[in-house]
Structure 1
Amino acid sequence: MTSTTLALPTTSNVHEWNDEEKAIVEAAGLVHTDSQTGQKTLAERPVVAAFLAHCAQTQLNPLARQIYCIARKSKGQLKWQIQISIDGARLVAERSGEYAGQTTPEFTSDGVTWTQVWLSSDPPKAARVGVLRKSFKEPLYAIALWDAYAVYDDVWENGRKTGEKKPSAMWSKMGPLMLAKCAEMLALRKAFPQDLSGLYSSEEMQQAGGALVERETPVTRELGVGPDGDVVETHPGAVIRNQRAQAARVASAPEAPARDWAAELEQVTDLDGLRFLYREAQRVGAFAEPVTFQGVGQTVEQALWKAKEALEETTPPLVEAKPTKVKPRDWLREGRALDAEQLRALIIEASTAGAADEVVGQLEEMYRSLSAVAPVEGASWAEDAGDDRWQGSPAVLDAEVVADDDEVI
């Protein structure tokens, strides 16, 4: 059995990765490179953690392209998907000791007559593959419909869309083979749910790019357990539909009032307060917004750097204090009775007092709820972009704060 645990990172904390592990993570697709700007974006930490968990569970090698991550842009935001190749799925099935092969793919145009070789210039309506398992008496068949998986591109003339669509280059050239792979993945996932549940191949997920409005049929409908423990549909079409519904809800949410970042920066008197403000600007995607700070026009991110440099020059060295007994405080109880500004001050006080990360996180959730600011996906990992100016500050920050990957300033 080929193991990936020696090559892949064992933690999702980027600060603990060596150069070899960083290169492997990038090869696995967890680092997206913008084709126009060349800017690299690391996947959010939950995506990295989920990818490492899938690699550990399936024992698949990302360097052999048995498992990988793909980022697709949707309305300016990156959406990350963990996918496996058909060879990776077969390998997982074989390692189970129950895999006994599969039937030859078959195709049909009417659902009645099936053939193993598709010679017509028109695409088949469906493909089916049966997976054999030693504990099964009969093959387990799965059927994939052309309309549910084929990718279509818009037809353009004179720089305009004609309203017509045609199969993409890959599906036009190798449509039957692509559809057979989809059917095989469906059958493998049904036959080996313990090992392959929630994992999809690129052939199944190509329509995620939005080229085709997905359709769903009873033969391709699958159920699974969602993040809240509820039973949800896990067929690729349903997954994409849910993602689009979520994007529509975010797009239709009322816009938050514009924030006066310069005024908030003027009120910050210490690095803890500045760190909190940095994370707020990062979360709502305000780094590139123009602002006039100390009489100079600049971006919010540049103003934050400038404010940090000024605070570091005026902050006295940290003097180690003698340990004192402090009566435990019920931070959450205090926070529930406060407004947004009071809660912001309480968060800074709790962080300074060394409150548990879970408690501080819940206080920040209260603050975001009171501030009525919709969260922006992907606004994280600023400290992983190769800029280390926030590291190595004077001894005003204790070692635990500097080492915390969630802390940026």
Structure 2
Amino acid sequence: MTNELVLPTSIQPQTWNADTAAMMEFAGLTWLEQRPDPENPGQPKSVRMYAPSGIMAAFIAACRRTGLDPTAKQIYAAQMAGKWTVLIGIDGMRLVAQRTGEYDGQDPIEWQATEDGPWTTVPPKQPFSARIRIYRKGISRPLEQTVTWAEFGGTKGNWDKRPSHMLGIRVESHGFRRLYPMELSGLYTPEDFEADGELIAQGDNAPAAPSEDWTALFAAASTREELEAVRLRIPEAEKNDKLRTAFLARAGYLSREEARTEDADVVTDDSQTTDEGAQAPRPDVETPQAPSAPAPSSVPEALTQEEWEAAEAARFDAEQGVSDRG
């Protein structure tokens, strides 16, 4: 199969060749994002992003198990409510079933328009339920699967425009997973999640634009106070890991700048004291010590940069409710 030529043998991106990298990008496992440049406020830079290594490994294993081709969009990766999963289209499920050599056809999808209404192969304007029968060689009776609109229907996109078609895909995908658990276990179609508005994929399925360009506002903040003010304005529905990363990057940069400024002020004060001719204290005379000033709002000396960023991330999550990516 052609996809065997480009599937990576490693989940380490530095080992990929050009064909493999292109295939992984097409499958949604790597992409470019515009991120604020902490060293050049207001100047975004392109950053190559990668899906978690676990989902990369699961994706490669699913490709080998099913024989599906990512370049034909038969299989790809996406996020659902911030958690990654491997998705396949209904055509991919049909192909997997055929390749087993045990698929023995299926009856046409049927719908009910009402709970007590007759079953019909003519899609109603608004279905109550849908059912399908799928046959497998060696099994005397077909597998029959039924789903209802109340449990599996949606309200957005094609669910509003083509409700019977969408419910038909859901009943068919459920039936295939039940009939071929070894080949299709853990693999879902986009329709399985679009009903709940949970799919957050790259490209055409990307989430709606935010109400403001929060990453640009983070980059424009010149103090920690301004940065915090921007953070507090972000609506709950728009919080995500991307914004958390941008916030931490800018917070770290501002903290380092504040630390440099404070160090410079200390040096200036010492030089002025020397110019004024102040005499150094005698070593045999104890000099009263002034109360120590509070620690600046920068990276504490007792913490490494990584420890500080982890603490900031935890605080950001706790206060703002940003969920970690699975």
User: One fold, TM greater than 0.5?
Assistant: yes
Partners of 2:51 and 2:164 in 1: CA distance = 33
Q: Show CA shifts across 1:241-263 (max 9, x none).
A: xxxxxxxxxxxxxxxxxxxxxxx
Distance change >3 Å, CA 171–CA 207, structure 1 → 2: closer
Scaled by the length of structure 2, what TM-score is found? Answer: 0.59
- SS of 2:7 mapped into structure 1: coil
2:128 counterpart of 1:113: no
Shift of 1:4: 2.1
Alignment-mate amino acid for residue 124 of structure 1: P
Q: Show CA shifts across 1:6-43 (max 9, x none).
A: 12111111111112211110101113555998765321
2:86 counterpart of 1:82: yes
- SS of 2:255 mapped into structure 1: strand
The residue correspondences of 1:339-350 to structure 2 (distance < 5 A) are none
Alignment-mate amino acid for residue 48 of structure 1: M
Pick from 127, 132, 135: which aligns with 1:132?
135
| Mapped contact 1:3–1:60 kept (Cα < 8 A) | no
Alignment-mate amino acid for residue 94 of structure 1: Q
Which residue in 1 is equivalent to 2:296?
Answer: none
Partners of 1:196 and 1:135 in 2: CA distance = 19
Pick from 181, 186, 206: which aligns with 1:193?
181
2:238 counterpart of 1:291: no
Partners of 2:116 and 2:104 in 1: CA distance = 26
Q: Show CA shifts across 1:56-87 (max 9, x none).
A: 11111011111011235x5xxx4322110111
Structure of higher RCO (CA pairs closer than 8 Å, 6+ residues apart): 2
In structure 1, stretches of 5+ residues that fail to align are 153-167, 212-281, 298-340, 346-363, 380-409
Distance change >3 Å, CA 296–CA 101, structure 1 → 2: farther
Shift of 1:149: 2.7
Partners of 1:195 and 1:145 in 2: CA distance = 25
Partners of 1:377 and 1:196 in 2: CA distance = 27
Alignment-mate amino acid for residue 106 of structure 1: E
Runs (4 or more) in structure 1 with deviation over 3 Å come to 32-40, 282-285, 371-379
Alignment-mate amino acid for residue 6 of structure 1: L
Partners of 1:48 and 1:19 in 2: CA distance = 17
- SS of 2:194 mapped into structure 1: helix
Partners of 1:172 and 1:208 in 2: CA distance = 13
Q: Show CA shifts across 1:367-398 (max 9, x none).
A: x99x988897359xxxxxxxxxxxxxxxxxxx
Scaled by the length of structure 1, what TM-score is found? Answer: 0.48
| Mapped contact 1:283–1:376 kept (Cα < 8 A) | no
2:13 counterpart of 1:25: no
Partners of 1:296 and 1:61 in 2: CA distance = 55
Which residue in 2 is equivalent to 1:44?
Answer: 52
In structure 2, stretches of 5+ residues that fail to align are 36-43, 200-243, 263-300
| Mapped contact 2:159–2:195 kept (Cα < 8 A) | no
Which residue in 1 is equivalent to 2:106?
Answer: 102
Partners of 1:35 and 1:84 in 2: CA distance = 28
| Mapped contact 2:75–2:86 kept (Cα < 8 A) | yes
Question: How many pairs does the alignment contain?
Answer: 223
Which residue in 2 is equivalent to 1:245?
Answer: none
Mean Cα deviation higher: 201-210 or 81-90:
201-210
Which residue in 1 is equivalent to 2:66?
Answer: 58
| Mapped contact 2:88–2:187 kept (Cα < 8 A) | yes
Partners of 1:189 and 1:106 in 2: CA distance = 19
Partners of 2:141 and 2:168 in 1: CA distance = 20
The residue correspondences of 1:355-366 to structure 2 (distance < 5 A) are none
Partners of 2:108 and 2:164 in 1: CA distance = 13
Distance change >3 Å, CA 111–CA 284, structure 1 → 2: farther
| Mapped contact 1:67–1:82 kept (Cα < 8 A) | yes
Which residue in 2 is equivalent to 1:320?
Answer: none
Distance change >3 Å, CA 33–CA 207, structure 1 → 2: farther
Pick from 197, 203, 215: which aligns with 1:209?
197
